[in-house]
């Protein structure tokens, strides 16, 4: 299934939809290049679970934990970008963190992946803002200070592959 995410509002709504369906033991595996929107979608899911306030990127801490009553269910938000091998995920105690919790995993491939788990919702985010990413608009200088450049080509798509436990939950 492909989901069009033309703006931040759509990303927020998609995150809220996932949050409403999330169960302990589930994994939301977020893949995509740098700047694809993985952390933005993770923040939308966490907000959809009821968290109010700042959601730091776990890039340096690797793991951030959210517990009730701040969120509807125990949640682990992990960014595995800095791991050099899947073994490092074991060494930081990922399995212990996951017990009874849902997991949002950014850069899941760096931790060995989760797609084989029935509770895994794999989401590949891709930028569709071709003009913005080429630098063509920036180099012209014509749109400087118009506010148009910031919104030009900011769209994304999400390619969603649900594990067996997600089939029937997503429309």
**pLDDT (mean) for 81-94:** 94
Q: So what's the pLDDT on residue 55?
A: 92
CA atoms within 13 A on the CB side of 40: 21
**pLDDT surpasses 50 at 168:** yes
DSSP 79: E
Contact of 42 with 116, CB cutoff 8 Å: no
**Which residue has better confidence, 138 or 155?**
155
| pLDDT confidence tier of residue 84, bands split at 50, 70 and 90 | very high
Measure the CA–CA gap between 14 and 135, rounded to whole angstroms.
28
Mean pLDDT, rounded, for 47-70 = 93
For the entire predicted model, the pTM comes to: 0.85
Residue 66 pLDDT > 90: yes
Question: What tens digit of pLDDT does each residue of 98-119 get?
Answer: 999 999 999 999 999 999 999 9
Report all structural domains of the chain as residue ranges with CATH numbers, in order of start: 2-163 (3.40.50.300)
């Amino acid at each position: 299934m492909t989901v069009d995410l033309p703006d931040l509002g759509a990303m927020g709504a998609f995150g809220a939809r996932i949050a409403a369906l999330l169960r302990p033991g589930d994994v939301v595996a977020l893949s995509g290049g740098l700047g694809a929107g993985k952390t933005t979608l993770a923040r939308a899911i966490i907000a959809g679970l009821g968290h109010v306030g700042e959601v730091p990127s776990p890039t340096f801490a690797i793991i951030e934990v959210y517990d009730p009553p701040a969120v509807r269910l125990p949640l682990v938000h992990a960014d595995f970008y800095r791991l050099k091998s899947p073994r490092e995920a074991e060494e930081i105690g990922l399995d212990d963190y996951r017990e009874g919790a849902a997991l949002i995993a950014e850069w899941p491939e760096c931790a060995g992946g989760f797609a084989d788990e029935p509770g895994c919702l794999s989401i590949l985010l891709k930028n569709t803002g071709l003009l913005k990413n080429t630098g063509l608009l920036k180099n012209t200088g014509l749109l400087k200070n118009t506010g148009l450049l910031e919104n030009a080509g900011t769209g994304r798509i999400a390619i969603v592959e649900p594990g067996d436990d997600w089939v029937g939950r997503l429309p």
